Chains A and B, each alone.
Chain A
Amino acid sequence: MKLLTLNFLTCAIKACKSSPASFPLHPRDVELEIVESDINLPFLKNILPRLMWAELRTIAAELGLPELPETAPTRDHLVEGKEEAKEGEEVDEVPSQTARDLHRVLLETTVKEGKLVCGNCAHEYKVMEGVPNFLLPGHLV
């Protein structure tokens, strides 16, 4: 599971829906794996405003990853100084170092094994082979 996904995932238990402590889920005893992929600049630009940056920093810290900047980059930060385009010419945008770092953290850094723990109810979701188990026993639905 990508860290991107962790930035959108909440506890599934009904009673936790309204509690701010149910997001983000906290990784525990985690084995990370880097899975390389092609950078998708339009996707990064699309998703950037939807990220919860403070929570992403928290998670990165909990995982012992390099510290993320205090404030979120903007879309402009993701694009290398746009080359002088000729009149009416379409120029492919070049991802900046910031974009490549963000891609590394969000899309290439994955949780392979371990668990995700809710800060509100302490429920533990197991992750095996990168797949979190979100099946709940009936009484918690």
Chain B
Amino acid sequence: MSRPEDTLPPDLFYNDTESRKYTTSSRIQRIQSDMTHRALSLLSLASPSLILDIGCGSGLSGEILSQTPQYGTPGGPHVWIGLDISASMLGVALEKDVDGDLFLADAGQGVPFRPGTFDAAISISAIQWLCNAETSEDSPAGRLSRFFGGLYASLRRGGRAVCQFYPKNETQKKMVAQAAIKAGFGAGLLEDDEGTKNAKTYLVLTVGGGDLDGDITGVVRGMDSVHVMARPGAKAAKRGGDIVKGSRGWILKKKEQMERKGKVVKPSSKYTGRKRRVQF
């Protein structure tokens, strides 16, 4: 099956017909709702917060954010602001009379809020769309950089973002995650149902500063499916030393260093140091 991302730009793909089809499908509603709850559990919000929803569509996630804890929304009810590039999707959200504020905006152009505005951000099934704008004026790299740069600035210190997305392949997954790290985020990549056709990829992002909670190690502690992480603010890690980079010895040494610094590392196994798919 071809990816919609490969056929049309998002504002044309999500036209009136598609937006209605999307929002009324009970199968889609259930999947998007499950992923929103998963993302919320990763955000661990303890009290009502100001949240940005990127690619909010018809507001399926937003409706969950507006709920109280009794109805399953931790820390709720939250106040949210949604951005979407499709006027038709936003039209459906308006008809549903969602509580959040809606913006017709292209996340690839940046995030127009002053620094430190949001406690958290969420994005469900949207940011893969940033990867396929290859026009004479713009490139995926430019769009990703403006998006993550703007997102990073608009979150408060210690804030978090969780972006579930559908990368086309490993290269694209890596490109997205690297763009987030380059913007200054601490980043972890979480895979649910890895290797199945229901696989879901969550990019978990933290902004340094504030309380310890902002540290990525706090977010992913105890999760064994998080592959790679970078500390917030730690741009490209310093490399070097006498051990061959990438060798088992090098990895074990790195792990030891990271454990000493309190980072979460995967337990060493007989596979440690073998060639495997690159995650970042």
In whole angstroms, how far apart are the Cα atoms of A140 and B165 in the complex? 28
Interface footprint category on A = 20 to 34
Q: Which residues of B sit under 8 angstroms from A52, Cβ to Cβ?
A: 114
Task: Give the chain A neighbours of B106 by CB distance below 8 A.
Answer: 134-136
Chain A CB within 8 A of B49 CB = yes
Q: What does the 1/0 interface line of B126-148 toward A look like (CB < 8 Å)? A: 00000000010110000000100
A83 at the interface (CB under 8 A from B): no
User: Which residues on A sit within 8 Å (CB–CB) of B172?
Assistant: none
Task: Please state if B85 and A46 are interface contacts (CB–CB under 8 Å).
Answer: no
Q: Distance (Å) between the CB of B11 and the closest chain A CB? A: 9
> Among the listed B48, B101, B156, which residue makes an inter-chain contact with A40, where contact means beta carbons less than 8 Å apart?
B48
Contact in complex: A10, B112 (CB < 8 Å)? yes
Q: For chain B residues 244-264, which have a beta carbon within 8 Å of chain A?
A: none
Contact string against A for B residues 65-87, beta-carbon threshold 8 Å, 1 for contact and 0 otherwise = 00000000000011101010100
Judge if A138 is at the interface, Cβ distance under 8 Å.
yes
21 contacts between A and B (CB under 8 A): A4-B79, A8-B114, A10-B112, A10-B113, A10-B114, A12-B112, A23-B114, A40-B48, A42-B47, A43-B48, A43-B77, A46-B47, A46-B48, A107-B79, A131-B94, A131-B104, A134-B104, A134-B105, A135-B85, A135-B105, A138-B138
B203 part of interface (Cβ distance < 8 Å): no
Residues of B within 8 A of A10 (CB): 112-114
Residue of A nearest to B138 (CB): A138
What per-residue 1/0 map shows which CB atoms of A101-141 lie under 8 Å from chain B? 00000010000000000000000000001111111101101
User: Is B99 part of the binding interface, using a Cβ–Cβ cutoff of 8 Å?
Assistant: yes
Q: Beyond A42-B48, A43-B77, A134-B106: 7 further Cβ-contacts under 8 Å?
A: A23-B114, A129-B94, A130-B101, A132-B104, A134-B103, A134-B112, A141-B146
With contacts A10-B113, A12-B109, A131-B104 known, is A37 near B94, CB below 8 A?
A: no
Known A47-B50, A131-B102: A136·B90 in contact at CB below 8 Å: no
Residue-wise, chain A 7-50 has the 8 Å CB interface mask toward B (1 for contact) of 01111101000000001000000000000010010110011001
Rounded to whole angstroms, the CA-CA distance of A121 and B102 in the bound complex is: 23
1/0 contact string of B25-62 vs chain A (CB within 8 Å): 00000000000000000000001111000000000000
Contact between B50 and A135 (Cβ–Cβ < 8 Å)? Answer: no
Distance (Å) between the CB of A93 and the closest chain B CB?
12
Q: How far is the CB of B8 from chain A (nearest CB, A)?
A: 17
B119 at the interface (CB under 8 A from A): yes
B90 to A46, Cβ gap below 8 A? no
What 7 A-B pairs come out closest when comparing CB atoms? A43-B48, A134-B105, A12-B112, A8-B117, A138-B137, A133-B104, A5-B101
Q: Which residues of A approach B to under 8 Å, CB–CB?
A: 1-2, 4-5, 8-12, 14, 23, 37, 40, 42-43, 46-47, 50, 52, 107, 129-136, 138-139, 141
Give the chain A neighbours of B110 by CB distance below 8 A: 12, 14, 141
Residue of B nearest to A25 (CB): B112
Q: Considering the chains assembled together, what is the distance between the CA atoms of A23 and B105 in angstroms?
A: 18
User: Are B116 and A50 in touch, CB under 8 angstroms?
Assistant: yes
Pair A9/B48 contact, Cβ less than 8 Å:
no
- Which among A1, A2, A50, A138 is the interface contact of B117 at CB below 8 angstroms? A50
Contact call A132/B137, Cβ cutoff below 8 A: no
Contact B156 A50 (CB under 8 A): yes
Cα A34 to Cα B116 in complex, Å, equals 27
Chain B residues with Cβ under 8 A from A139's Cβ? Answer: 137
Which chain A residues lie closer than 8 Å to B104 at the CB level?
131-135
- Report the separation of the CA atoms of residues A136 and B137 in the bound assembly, to the nearest whole angstrom: 13
CA distance A88 to B85 in the complex (A): 50
In the complex, chain B residues whose CB is within 8 Å of the CB of A5 = 81, 101
Q: Are A131 and B50 in contact (CB under 8 A)?
A: no
